[in-house]
């Protein structure tokens, strides 16, 4: 442990499993206080317990991301628990994969709501809290940077068959990232995105058919999906002071899927 995030208050959405869980655990290992959000309250509570039993500080929160009310409640939990907020990770996501001609309106709306609107709503809630604080800060406080780290995807960067809803949401997140970076830079709020490729409950079904799996894995320069634990260090970097001069960027942590 290097304590790069010592005492920072962080929210990680969709942190009950997979990449989100790995991010929450890595943040805690670096000294952060973590709000572990997941629509599955039991999963969120289990990760928070894992952190506290390891000597860290965490609370769980079970809002289903996708509305302004849920976003404001989530930020409220962080402020009630830790009295501050330093880092927001917008990781929560779902899949409703269908070819476009078979995709229902509900399939499209659900994915857009969680990924795109959820990212926007959580970002909005954090920004509304941070803006007046940043404007009032003087002296050494001007060295303080707050961070938003969004999660996009290769699907949002290069498209993916059967994922028009997901790709649209993830490319929309790229747009949010770059727009927020321009809007908030002078307030020392850095906004970046990470496009990960890891083997999780969302991606494991994609490899069930051996022939499909062979074709899919051939797209990776490294020939495989990463583990969530291989993705989390990039989030630690963007949350830390080491990235204070980086904003508006998309980092692919994907084994060479997007080159």
- R_g of the chain, CA atoms, integer Å: 18
| 230 and 137 Cβ atoms separated by less than 8 Å | no
- Euclidean distance between CA atoms 190 and 192, whole angstroms: 7
Position of tokens 């001609």? 101
- Euclidean distance between CA atoms 199 and 12, whole angstroms: 19
SS3 label, residue 255: coil
Which structure tokens are listed for 62?
Answer: 């079970």
Q: Which residues pair with 193 in a beta bridge?
A: 150, 250
Question: Which residue, among 43, 20, 187, 42, has the nearest Cα to 34 in the 3D structure?
Answer: 20
- Reported as type and span, the H/E element at residue 33 is strand 33-37
Q: Which residues pair with 89 in a beta bridge?
A: 12, 149
- Euclidean distance between CA atoms 60 and 68, whole angstroms: 19
Active site annotation includes 166:
yes
- Euclidean distance between CA atoms 115 and 150, whole angstroms: 10
Residue among 27, 82, 130, 166 flagged as catalytic: 166
With a CB cutoff of 8 Å and minimum separation 6, the contacts of 256 are: 220, 221, 222
- Number of Cβ within a 10 Å radius of residue 234: 20
* Catalytic sites, residue numbers: 166
């Amino acid at each position: 442990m290097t304590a790069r995030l010592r005492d920072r208050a962080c929210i990680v959405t969709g942190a009950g499993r997979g990449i989100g869980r790995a991010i929450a655990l890595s943040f805690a290992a670096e000294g952060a206080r973590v709000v572990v959000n997941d629509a599955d309250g039991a999963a969120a509570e289990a990760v928070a317990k894992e952190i506290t039993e390891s000597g860290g500080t965490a609370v769980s929160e079970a809002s289903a991301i996708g509305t302004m009310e849920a976003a404001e409640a989530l930020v409220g939990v962080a402020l009630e628990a830790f009295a501050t907020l330093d880092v927001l990770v917008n990781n929560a996501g779902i899949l409703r994969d269908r070819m476009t001609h078979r995709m229902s309106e509900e399939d499209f709306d659900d994915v857009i709501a969680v990924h795109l609107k959820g990212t926007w709503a959580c970002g909005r809630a954090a920004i509304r809290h941070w803006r007046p604080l940043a404007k009032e800060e003087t002296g050494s406080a001007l060295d303080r940077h707050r961070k938003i780290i969004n999660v996009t995807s290769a699907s949002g960067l290069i498209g993916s068959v059967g994922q028009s809803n997901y790709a649209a949401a993830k490319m929309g997140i790229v747009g949010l990232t770059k727009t927020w970076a321009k809007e908030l830079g002078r307030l020392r709020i850095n906004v970046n995105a990470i496009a990960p490729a890891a083997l999780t409950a969302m991606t494991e079904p994609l490899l069930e058919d051996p022939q499909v799996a062979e074709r899919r894995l051939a797209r990776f320069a490294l020939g495989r999906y990463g583990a969530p634990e291989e993705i989390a260090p990039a989030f630690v970097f963007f949350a830390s002071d080491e990235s204070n001069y980086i904003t508006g960027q998309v980092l692919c942590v994907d084994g060479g899927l997007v080159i």
